[in-house]
Amino acid sequence: MRQKNSTGLPPGFTLLEILVVLGIIGILVLIVIAAVNPTKQLNDARGADRRISIREMENAITQYIIRGNTLSGIPIGITNALPVCQDTVTGTDCTNAGGYDLSVLTANGTYLVNIPIDPSQTGAVVTGYRIYQVGSFTKICSPVLEDSCGSS
């Protein structure tokens, strides 16, 4: 049989017991958050998104060239890589901004629906990616993934 306190109600938890339980739960939550590390998970996801975008643009360029088209004025070497302009910035607007215009890839959605934009890019002119040539290959790089991307 349970004892009753002076109010006639069964005894409950004390404030100290509740605080101890909340403290233990708080410590467990901190351990789980540290183990999951959401910042690292987000950075890894953005890195994967960048790699997919780079592959997508390189494949579109390759298809464009295979169909008998050419892209001129692409710098040689990763250190000379030029910024790729967003598909809304074309022609002299792009070249005056020091970028490279790949909007031919998005014409009628033939090769790309739109030119991918780096997740950390906030400007309205460039995509955050850069274009360069190595031998006969046209490559795309991201300064976030590669320190030498356009470092000249």
User: What is the mean predicted confidence (pLDDT) over 103-117?
Assistant: 90
Query: Residues 129, 82: contact at Cβ < 8 Å?
Result: no
pLDDT for residue 8: 63
pLDDT band at 14 (very low <50, low <70, confident <90, very high): confident
Q: Is residue 14 part of a domain?
A: no
Q: Is residue 33 part of a domain?
A: no
Q: Could you report the per-residue pLDDT of 61-104, keeping only the tens digit for each?
A: 999 999 999 999 999 999 999 999 998 888 889 888 889 999 99
Dihedral angle sign, alpha carbons of residues 145, 91, 106, 75:
negative
User: What is the mean predicted confidence (pLDDT) over 102-109?
Assistant: 89
d(CA 13, CA 20): 11
Does the pLDDT of residue 30 top 70, yes or no?
yes
Does the pLDDT of residue 152 top 60, yes or no?
no
Look up residue 81 and give its amino acid. Answer: A
User: What is the mean predicted confidence (pLDDT) over 113-125?
Assistant: 88
* Domain extent at residue 103: 38-141
Q: Is residue 22 part of a domain?
A: no
Comparing 152 with 115, which gets the higher pLDDT? Answer: 115
Q: What residues are paired with 72 via a beta bridge?
A: none
Domain count for the chain, please give it: 1
pLDDT for residue 26: 94
Does the pLDDT of residue 20 top 70, yes or no?
yes
pTM: 0.73
pLDDT for residue 78: 93
Q: Is residue 98 part of a domain?
A: yes
Dihedral angle sign, alpha carbons of residues 8, 9, 13, 16:
negative
Does the pLDDT of residue 9 top 80, yes or no?
no
Q: Is residue 81 part of a domain?
A: yes
